[in-house]
Chains A and B, each alone.
Chain A
Amino acid sequence: MKTTGKCVSSPERGFAWVLTFLLTAFLSAALLSLLAVQGLTSAGMHLAAATGNGVADSQQAKIYEQVDRLAEDCGFSPEGVKAAIRREDLLEMNRKAAAWWTKLCTEGIVDTIPRWNAAELEKAVEAGMNGETRTEDAGKIAAELAEKIERVVFPLRESLLSRGMSFARNKADVEGMIRDIRRLPALGAALSLLAAGLIALLLGRDFFSSLKYYGTAAAGTGLTILATGIIFFSLHPGAMIEQASAALGREFGTLAGQITLLGGGVTLFLLAAGYFCLILYRKKANNNTKATEQPV
């Protein structure tokens, strides 16, 4: 009679399944918090969202609409003013806005919002005046236009945010909280390693049995991330922001798309790795069983 390596007893197997479930939970928590932390604090993601496809173009179109309206009301030629509002300058302002978001999310600091240079606009308004408007008004019109541009690129109430943040700082250690939130993925990873290590200790040298548990945990984590993503997006979080500001909603959409891409990649990898382990285990276990079923 042939036996196939070390046979793991039933209570040990039960404990291994409990550890597998814990490994799935810890790994899911680690990866989901990693995705959330990346979305909140990654400067690269914020920059990509602020300068993404169509963001500057749609902002430019909205600003041009407002220039046309103001030109009709105040009596100046809008063409020169439109030429002064360059796409590159808008992109630069979006870059500054992204840096502002990153600073708020990583340090809890509400900086002064980026300002549009009104001097160039004033010259363009002055040059486009048709005699009906006094040249002294050019400064006021330029200032109003600059404010409109800032509102399109950065539609936030800075003073309210600043007051809210200083209130929060008085009540709690905001920086410490941000630091703790950023450590969550590492904590999840450490707990996952502990659970994986305990499974390895429990199974000893039975490497192929551990494939079953690790495969289940990896694929289970992939499925959990997938289901959580579906639940999150079925709540339409972007619609709330889009109702308040279409531009901000579009930027949130770009950011959500990037997180989806990252999360999708992680999910696919975990599902593939998990099911590969399970297939490998089943193949090996079947071969072993066949070998032990040989007539004695």
Chain B
Amino acid sequence: MSIKTKRKPGPGLYLMPMAAALPIVAVVALAVSRIWPTLHKLLSIMIKLVVKA
């Protein structure tokens, strides 16, 4: 007779860092995709103003 007190951790354990990182990366990607077009225009104008050709 064998008794299991704890479940054996499988190779899926190595995917846990990806699961932890995914929501953060998703938020960063979403924020960048929303902000970047406006930020790009704003930065381009600022750089053109400040930098001599």
A residues engaging B (CB < 8 A)? 1, 3-4, 7, 20-21, 24-25, 28, 151, 155-157, 160-161, 212, 215-224, 227-228, 231, 235, 240-241, 243-245, 248, 274-275, 278, 281-282, 285-286, 288-289, 292-296
The interface residues of chain B lying within 8 Å CB-to-CB of A274 are 17
Question: A226: shortest Cβ distance to chain B, in Å?
Answer: 9
CA distance in complex: A245, B28 (Å)? 29
- Which residue of B3, B4, B13, B50 is within 8 Å of A160 (Cβ)? B50
CA distance in complex: A294, B5 (Å)? 12
Q: Are A240 and B40 in contact (CB under 8 A)?
A: yes
Question: B26: shortest Cβ distance to chain A, in Å?
Answer: 10
Question: Beyond the given A286-B9, A292-B5, could you list 7 further A-B residue pairs with CB under 8 A, ordered by the A residue number?
Answer: A21-B23, A28-B24, A156-B50, A157-B51, A240-B40, A240-B43, A293-B4
Q: Are A244 and B5 in contact (CB under 8 A)?
A: no
Known: A220-B21, A245-B53, A278-B14. A240 touches B47 (CB 8 A): yes
Question: B11: shortest Cβ distance to chain A, in Å?
Answer: 8
A-B contact pairs, 6 of them (CB 8 A): A3-B5, A7-B6, A24-B20, A151-B52, A156-B52, A223-B18
Q: Are A282 and B52 in contact (CB under 8 A)?
A: no
Which residues of B from 1 to 53 have beta carbons under 8 Å from A? 1-9, 13-14, 16-21, 23-25, 28-29, 32, 36, 40, 43-44, 47-53
Specify the chain A residue showing the minimal Cβ separation from B32.
A231
Question: A238: shortest Cβ distance to chain B, in Å?
Answer: 11
- Which residue of B7, B20, B24 is within 8 Å of A216 (Cβ)? B20
Known: A24-B24, A240-B47. A212 touches B13 (CB 8 A): yes
CA distance in complex: A158, B21 (Å)? 42
The interface residues of chain B lying within 8 Å CB-to-CB of A3 are 5
- Which residue of A161, A227, A289, A292 is within 8 Å of B50 (Cβ)? A161
Known: A224-B24, A235-B32, A286-B8. A248 touches B3 (CB 8 A): no
Specify the chain A residue showing the minimal Cβ separation from B33.
A231
Known: A235-B32, A244-B51. A223 touches B9 (CB 8 A): no
Q: Are A293 and B23 in contact (CB under 8 A)?
A: no
CA distance in complex: A292, B4 (Å)? 7
CA distance in complex: A241, B29 (Å)? 23
Q: Are B3 and A216 in contact (CB under 8 A)?
A: no
Question: B1: shortest Cβ distance to chain A, in Å?
Answer: 6
The interface residues of chain B lying within 8 Å CB-to-CB of A223 are 17-18, 21, 25
**Which 10 residue pairs spanning A and B have beta carbons closest together?**
A220-B20, A219-B17, A223-B21, A244-B51, A220-B17, A220-B21, A227-B25, A216-B16, A24-B20, A155-B52
Q: Are A278 and B25 in contact (CB under 8 A)?
A: no
- Which residue of B16, B19, B24, B48 is within 8 Å of A278 (Cβ)? B16
The interface residues of chain B lying within 8 Å CB-to-CB of A157 are 49-52
Specify the chain A residue showing the minimal Cβ separation from B46.
A164
Q: Are A289 and B8 in contact (CB under 8 A)?
A: yes
Known: A155-B52, A156-B51, A248-B51. A224 touches B21 (CB 8 A): yes
